[in-house]
Amino acid sequence: MAPIGLDGLAALVPDGAHLALPPDNSAPPSALARALVRRAARGLRLLGVPVSGYAADLLIGAGCVASVQTSAAMVGEAGLAPRFSAAVAAGSISVIDATCPAIHTALQAAEKGVPFMPLRGVLGSDIVAHRPDWTVIDNPFANGPDPILLVAAVAPDIAAFHAACADAHGNVYVGRRRELATMAHAARRALVTVERMVEGDLLEDERLAPGVISGVYIEAVAIVGRGAWPAGLLDEYSLDGAHLAEYGALAATGAGFRTYLERYVLKGEAR
């Protein structure tokens, strides 16, 4: 698989796509999110896996997003994602409330090709009453009353994330971030930015193979150095707390967010 350019990768995300994004502690495709802002993407339906962070907040603030399903929306130590909070208050996006286990369960169902999977931890919460796509039944294997929640499978149109490297076969190394594998398996397509391409076949290396997503699940790869920034990446580089604090301060207002876009996004990648 030959890598493509970042703008080419962004062009593969159509307006209105159901887009799964990992949080800031799990290699988000921050550079791709900035490219989508520059492309003026619209109507995206985001899925936080299982929470939303900088990339999602950036897209929301830039008007690229119609809806978000997530368990939370945070930007590191800066706290609640400011543009997400503003959009919710303004009613400019719709929000589907979920929990971390429920989102993982929904993706695992899609990964396994089944219509739903059972889950217990959400029972008793208010969320169930607001999720018509979830159903509570009696456990058919129990001898007595034993309610259990069935979570419908979720198969995003696109899973997007950053990774350390890929090989010419499209295999991508994500280390212990196995939720990225679940995303890639569940989604109809997976788009990945990587720090670099490497020689050989990552799946042939016994030490690396457990942390590799097979190229069977990857549609396209773009080489983008520090593509997760300001989030960190494995042992490659650390989260940039100072920048996230700057983002949180600027994005607290619409005018400040526009300043952020001009300074860090609209003029291209600058880190």
Higher per-residue confidence, 223 vs 270:
223
Res 271: pLDDT: 59
Average pLDDT over residues 60-77: 96
Question: Predicted confidence band at 267 (pLDDT cuts at 50, 70, 90)?
Answer: confident
* pLDDT tens digits along 107-144: 999 999 999 999 998 998 899 999 999 999 999 999 99
**Closest to 32 (Cα-Cα) out of 189, 222, 170, 270:** 222
The CATH fold assigned to 6-98+156-162+229-265 is: Glutaconate Coenzyme A-transferase (3.40.1080)
| pLDDT over 70 at 147, yes or no | yes
| pLDDT over 90 at 76, yes or no | no
Average pLDDT over residues 156-185: 97
Query: Rounded to whole angstroms, how far apart are CA atoms 15 and 193?
Result: 19
* pLDDT tens digits along 208-244: 999 999 999 999 999 999 999 999 998 899 999 999 9
The token duo for 245 is 């604090």
Write out the DSSP string of the chain: ---B-HHHHHHTS-TT-EEEE--TTS---HHHHHHHHHTT--SEEEEESSSB-HHHHHHHHTT-EEEEEES-BB-GGG-B-HHHHHHHHHT-SEEEE--HHHHHHHHHHHHHT-SEEEE-TTTTSGGGGG-TTEEEEE-TT-SS--EEEEEEP---SEEEEEEEEEETT--EE-TT-HHHHHHHHHSSEEEEEEEEEESS-GGG-TTTGGGEE-GGG--EEEE-TTTTTTS-BTTTB---HHHHHHHHHHTTSHHHHHHHIIIIITT----
Res 88: pLDDT: 97
Domains of the chain by residue range: 6-98+156-162+229-265, 116-152
Q: Let me know if 39 is exposed, middle or buried by CB neighbors in 10 A (0-12, 13-18, 19+).
A: middle
pTM: 0.96
Res 270: pLDDT: 59
